[in-house]
């Protein structure tokens, strides 16, 4: 009987999938897979290659390795060959097990640490603050909880069905919402980060602040006093980013909020001023407005001015309809705070508010790492320069996530962390961002993937584009919510889909379909020929594709 350790299973169904995959391998006479134990017990024909077993498990979406306990010799040398095969690229110079140091514990760091451990490396993970990084603690998770609560409050106050379903002003108990939000954050941090690290014997967690001593070692100032030197064969930098604070006279002397303080605040201020015009600014501005604040956004240009102009226009119209004041081409030249009130001096007069949220982007957490000692280069904003393999300018040092020149999304960070781990072990994994979807969780949502018309032109590609307003989409019509549009950008002549921009309710749920279509090299004609379920918002992609050859206003509601 031969045993493999299986990771990645989350239920009994996963165990079934692994068993079925193993049973298809020539030479496997029987396979028993246990989800609780994370093992596969196999009866094999002589000389059945372990590579075939591991490959079959990998193809099914899981990982297999030979347990350390199976180190004893066997008559056919199976385990020696298995360990040799699994350990290829995992050894440092001198034959020792590869030692990987990971600085950080967020999405990129965790993905890299776990992948490195799976590949047989010894990992030292160094975290100076709270385990889990930005996303679970002070970013994606708490913000989406707050946004959802605000959405529910908004619908109770106002919806397209008020004539038939009575509306009422909701009572907002912010302290209870905050407790609910924090409980879920704590649950996810423990379940997806802390407990996983505690259950990974190949990963050692060091709590402290790391800096490079040279290109092969780190000095860690420990949280519990003292220092520790960590020598490594490979190192991954995954230190994330923090809220950027603009240099506005007087601002530093005031109790302004960044997103971190805003999400943790137990108050809903009567008046909230927001400096910023991109993702964090608009998401939190609308959430606070729906929870009861009178919100004013100061946009230096317009909302989402770097995106297709129609996106900013559609979102601005939606905000103003809800009572959110959007001041375009407006900048604060001075900020003061006295008597519990902020006073912002702007090019359009003074603005007064009880609270001020500054949401003008995020700055990479790279200061204090002593990157110069390791030969790691950064750009003008302090972001670590990496290539598509997550390699930095220094041999054996990699970086991933928000501290790099990559887009600041947690799913990009996690994908980069996994690929970095593969490459640190001698592999060749690149991160392709050509079809990277992005979502802004406002209402309506903003979702994009691929190239905009402007980006395509800059790349020298001639385009043919169509924009479909949502009054042509049956799902939007029956929802009585036709705010927004779907825009398809195609290559002129071939019709190859290059990009999609959407402003719509639940736009984030349709954008992945567009991403897959772009990744597959589909044309708008291919997209128009696909079957889309009726009534769904994703059907808008088919309808928008049909506009390249038809007038959809002249089609029946579910015309193929």
Domain assignment of residue 307, yes or no: yes
460 and 523 assigned to the same domain: yes
Selecting among 35, 235, 537, 557, the annotated active-site residue is 557
236 and 345 assigned to the same domain: no
442 and 538 assigned to the same domain: yes
348 and 480 assigned to the same domain: no
Say if residue 538 carries a ligand binding annotation.
Answer: no
54 and 175 assigned to the same domain: no
The CATH number of whichever domain residue 542 belongs to comes to 3.30.390.30
Last-in-domain residue among 42, 63, 86: 86
Say if residue 328 carries a ligand binding annotation.
Answer: no
Last-in-domain residue among 385, 411, 433: 433
276 and 373 assigned to the same domain: no
Domain assignment of residue 559, yes or no: no
239 and 383 assigned to the same domain: yes
Selecting among 390, 424, 522, 558, the annotated active-site residue is 558
Active site residue 9: yes
The CATH number of whichever domain residue 380 belongs to comes to 3.50.50.60
The b/e string for 273-283 (b: 16+ C-beta within 10 A; e otherwise) is: bbbbbbbbbbb
Domain span including residue 274: 251-357
Say if residue 191 carries a ligand binding annotation.
Answer: no
Selecting among 135, 235, 390, 403, the annotated active-site residue is 135
311 and 367 assigned to the same domain: no
Beta-sheet pairing, 349-353 with 325-327: unpaired
101 and 216 assigned to the same domain: yes
**Does residue 383 contact residue 392 with C-beta atoms inside 8 Å?**
no
Q: What is the pLDDT along the chain (560 residues), one digit of tens a residue?
A: 899 999 878 778 778 888 988 998 888 999 999 988 889 999 999 888 887 888 778 767 678 888 755 444 433 444 444 443 444 445 665 557 999 999 999 999 999 999 999 999 999 999 999 999 999 999 999 999 999 999 999 999 999 999 999 999 999 999 999 999 999 999 999 999 999 999 999 999 999 999 999 999 999 999 999 999 999 999 999 999 999 999 999 999 999 999 999 999 999 999 999 999 999 999 999 999 999 999 999 999 999 999 999 999 999 999 999 999 999 999 999 999 999 999 999 999 999 999 999 999 999 999 999 999 999 999 999 999 999 999 999 999 999 999 999 999 999 999 999 999 999 999 999 999 999 999 999 999 999 999 999 999 999 999 999 999 999 999 999 999 999 999 999 999 999 999 999 999 999 999 999 999 999 999 999 999 999 999 999 999 999 999 999 998 888 877 67
Selecting among 9, 110, 390, 537, the annotated active-site residue is 9
Say if residue 276 carries a ligand binding annotation.
Answer: yes
Residue 329 burial by CB count (10 A; 0-12/13-18/19+): exposed, middle or buried? exposed
Say if residue 280 carries a ligand binding annotation.
Answer: yes
Residue 411: partners with Cβ closer than 8 Å, 6 or more residues away? 107
State the Cα–Cα distance between residues 455 and 429, nearest whole angstrom: 26
45 and 177 assigned to the same domain: no
Token pair of 321 as six digits: 């309809």
Active site residue 140: yes
Selecting among 62, 146, 424, 537, the annotated active-site residue is 62
233 and 369 assigned to the same domain: yes
Question: Helix (H) and strand (E) counts for the chain?
Answer: 18, 25
Active site residue 403: no
Beta bridge pairs of residue 499: 450, 489
Say if residue 144 carries a ligand binding annotation.
Answer: yes
Domain assignment of residue 560, yes or no: no
Selecting among 1, 35, 110, 140, the annotated active-site residue is 140
What tens digit of pLDDT does each residue of 397-408 get?
999 999 999 999
What is the distance between the terminal CA atoms of the chain, rounded to a whole angstrom? 55
State the Cα–Cα distance between residues 89 and 170, nearest whole angstrom: 60
Q: Is 104 left (phi over 0), alpha (psi -120 to 50) or beta?
A: left
267 and 124 assigned to the same domain: no
pTM of the full predicted structure? 0.84
Beta-sheet pairing, 445-450 with 217-222: unpaired
What tens digit of pLDDT does each residue of 474-507 get?
999 999 999 999 999 999 999 999 999 999 999 9
The b/e string for 454-472 (b: 16+ C-beta within 10 A; e otherwise) is: ebbeeeebebbbbebebeb
Alpha carbon 401 to chain centroid distance?
Answer: 9
Domain assignment of residue 540, yes or no: yes
Say if residue 282 carries a ligand binding annotation.
Answer: yes
Total length of the chain: 560
Active site residue 235: no
Domain assignment of residue 191, yes or no: yes
Number of domains present in the structure of the chain = 4
DSSP 328: T
Last-in-domain residue among 357, 389, 405: 357
Active site residue 135: yes
State the Cα–Cα distance between residues 258 and 260, nearest whole angstrom: 5
CA dihedral 42, 44, 47, 48 (to 10 degrees): -60
């Amino acid at each position: 009987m031969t045993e493999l350790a299986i990771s990645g299973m989350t239920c009994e169904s996963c165990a079934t999938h692994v068993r079925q995959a193993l049973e298809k391998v020539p030479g496997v006479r029987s396979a028993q897979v246990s989800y609780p134990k994370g093992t596969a017990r196999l009866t094999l024909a002589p000389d059945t290659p372990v590579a075939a077993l591991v490959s079959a498990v990998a193809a099914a979406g899981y990982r297999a390795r030979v347990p350390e306990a199976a180190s004893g010799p066997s008559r056919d040398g199976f385990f020696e060959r298995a360990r040799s095969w699994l350990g290829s690229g995992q050894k440092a110079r001198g034959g020792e097990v590869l030692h990987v140091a990971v600085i950080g514990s967020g999405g990129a760091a965790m993905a890299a640490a776990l992948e490195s451990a799976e590949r047989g490396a010894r990992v030292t993970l160094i975290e100076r603050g709270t385990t889990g990084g930005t996303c679970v603690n002070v970013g994606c998770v708490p913000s989406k909880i707050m946004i959802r609560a605000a959405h529910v409050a908004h619908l109770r106050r106002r919806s397209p069905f008020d004539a038939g379903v009575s509306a009422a002003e909701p009572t907002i108990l912010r302290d209870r919402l905050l407790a609910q939000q924090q409980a879920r954050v704590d649950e996810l941090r423990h379940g997806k980060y802390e407990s996983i690290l505690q259950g990974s014997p190949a990963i050692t967690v060091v709590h402290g602040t790391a800096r490079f001593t040279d290109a092969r070692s780190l000095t860690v100032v420990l949280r519990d006093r003292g220092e520790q030197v960590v020598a490594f064969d490979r190192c991954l930098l995954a230190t994330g980013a923090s809220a950027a604070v603009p240099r506005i006279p007087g601002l530093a002397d005031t109790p302004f909020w960044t997103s971190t303080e805003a999400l943790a605040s137990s108050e809903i201020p009567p008046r909230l001023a927001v400096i910023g015009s991109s993702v964090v600014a608009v998401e939190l501005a609308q959430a606070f407005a729906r929870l009861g604040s009178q919100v004013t956004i100061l946009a230096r240009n317009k909302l989402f001015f770097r995106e297709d102009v129609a996106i900013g226009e559609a979102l601005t119209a939606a905000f103003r309809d809800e009572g959110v004041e959007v001041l375009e081409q407006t900048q604060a030249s001075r900020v003061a705070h006295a008597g519990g009130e902020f006073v912002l001096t702007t090019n359009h007069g003074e603005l007064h508010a009880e609270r001020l949220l500054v949401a003008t982007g995020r700055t990479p957490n790279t200061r204090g790492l002593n990157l110069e000692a390791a030969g790691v280069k950064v750009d003008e904003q302090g972001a670590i320069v990496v290539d598509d393999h997550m390699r930095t300018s220094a041999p054996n040092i990699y970086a991933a996530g928000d501290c790099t020149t990559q887009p600041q999304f947690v799913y990009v960070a996690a994908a980069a962390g996994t690929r970095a781990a593969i490459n640190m072990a001698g592999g060749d994994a690149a991160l392709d961002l050509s079809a990277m979807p992005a979502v802004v969780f406002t209402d309506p949502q903003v979702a994009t993937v691929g190239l905009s018309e402007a980006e395509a032109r800059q790349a020298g590609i001639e385009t043919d584009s169509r924009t479909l307003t949502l009054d042509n989409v049956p799902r939007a019509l029956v929802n009585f919510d036709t705010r927004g549009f779907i825009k398809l950008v195609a290559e002129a002549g071939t019709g190859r889909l290059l990009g999609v921009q959407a402003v719509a309710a639940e736009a984030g749920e349709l954008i992945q379909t567009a991403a897959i279509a772009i990744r597959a090299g589909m044309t708008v004609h291919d997209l128009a020929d696909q079957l889309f379920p009726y009534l769904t918002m994703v059907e808008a992609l088919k309808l928008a594709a049909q506009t390249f050859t038809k007038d959809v206003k002249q089609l029946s509601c579910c015309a193929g």
